Chain A
Amino acid sequence: MRTPLSLAAGLALLAAPVLAAEGTRVQVTGEIIDTWCYFSGVMGGQDAVVGSAHHTCALWCSAGGIPVGLLGDDGTVYMVLKIEGDGNNASGDTQLNLASHVIEADGMLYQRDGLNYLVVEKIVTDRDIVVENHLDYGTVPPFAIPQGER
């Protein structure tokens, strides 16, 4: 005998692949961010974990395999799964080289279970680092630059 719980779980499992299979072409402009620092607040508020202040940390996290995201101009976060054919989305070279850059991306958007996923097919423009917030926040984290190199 089926319980209401198993019925609902079954429906959810049936529904998920349908959602996963459908992508929508989008153009998004925003900054390539480190999603863990942004979502967790471990390094401070959202304004502090973007741009020049947080750039070194963004490099560390990207190299360390933390997922990168694209923070759209409207505040929407897109989890970036692939960039111009490079699917190495855990510590890959392409995403590392784009850390903190503002890009205009053309690609496919997928949505599942509350997260936005983006396959970037083309970087239309790469504006390099645009957000200069180091005078507001210094370096995030404070130890980003070794004492002897300041």
Chain B
Amino acid sequence: MRCVPLLIAALFAVSPALAQDFSAGSEAKSWNLFAEQPALFEARVVDILCEIAGDCPANCGDGNRQLGLVRAVDGVLVFPNKNAQAAFSGATAELQPFCGMDVEVDGLMLEDPEIGARNVYLVQKIRKVGATEWTAANQWTKVWAEKHPEAAGEGPWFRRDPRVKAEIAEEGYFGLGAGREAEIKAEVFP
């Protein structure tokens, strides 16, 4: 009987310590974010909706699902929100080729509990456990361009994305309706 509280205490005492610092060996580049910490660790790539709620399509959803990292050392589910590009892009395209695999990742961990950010991650590079070569987590724009050959052209992807352009055409840049757009622009840009 005495073992049970001791084990529970060990769980809560040791796990937070494990979560605090994964910076050893990290080569992650700073983004000068308030809550960032370099973090290099091993993990398994999972479909988060599958991991959380048991909704599990084949191949982690084929690039349409948010992918997570179940950290090897403590089983914590890390949520990569961002890839390494400064282009409004997430991490799915980077992690999808590693679906179900054990990988090593390097990047920035965000821990800001006051606003709900726990185990949020920006992934900068990935490699299978045991591999020597890293893959840079900057493939998103290439994947987007392959999906949208009709949107080829000059300028950043987010100015050319067909769905974004359709939304803005219908609702305006402020989303309050095309009918109010001129009035709002006059107020914001007098």
Residues of A within 8 A of B (CB): 4-5, 7-9, 11-13, 15-16, 20-21, 23, 35-36, 38-42, 46, 52-53, 55-57, 59-61, 63-67, 75-77, 79, 81-82, 87-93, 96-97, 99-100, 108, 110, 112-117, 119, 128-129, 132, 134-135, 138-139, 144-146, 149-150
Chain B residue numbers with a CB within 8 Å of A138 are 188
Q: Is the CB of A82 within 8 A of B90?
A: no
Chain A binding surface SS class: mixed
**Is B77 engaged at the interface, CB distance under 8 Å to the other chain?**
yes
Q: Is the CB of B49 within 8 A of A8?
A: no
Given A16-B77, A82-B55, A110-B53, answer yes or no on A129-B176 (Cβ-Cβ < 8 Å). Answer: yes
Tell me, in angstroms, the Cα distance from A9 to B14 when the chains sit together.
Answer: 8
B97 → A minimal CB distance (Å) = 14
Chain B binding surface SS class: mixed
| 27 sampled A-B residue pairs with Cβ under 8 A | A11-B7, A12-B15, A23-B53, A39-B117, A40-B35, A40-B110, A55-B174, A60-B158, A60-B161, A63-B158, A64-B144, A64-B157, A65-B92, A75-B115, A77-B115, A79-B66, A82-B53, A87-B65, A89-B66, A91-B92, A96-B167, A114-B113, A114-B119, A117-B52, A117-B53, A119-B55, A132-B176
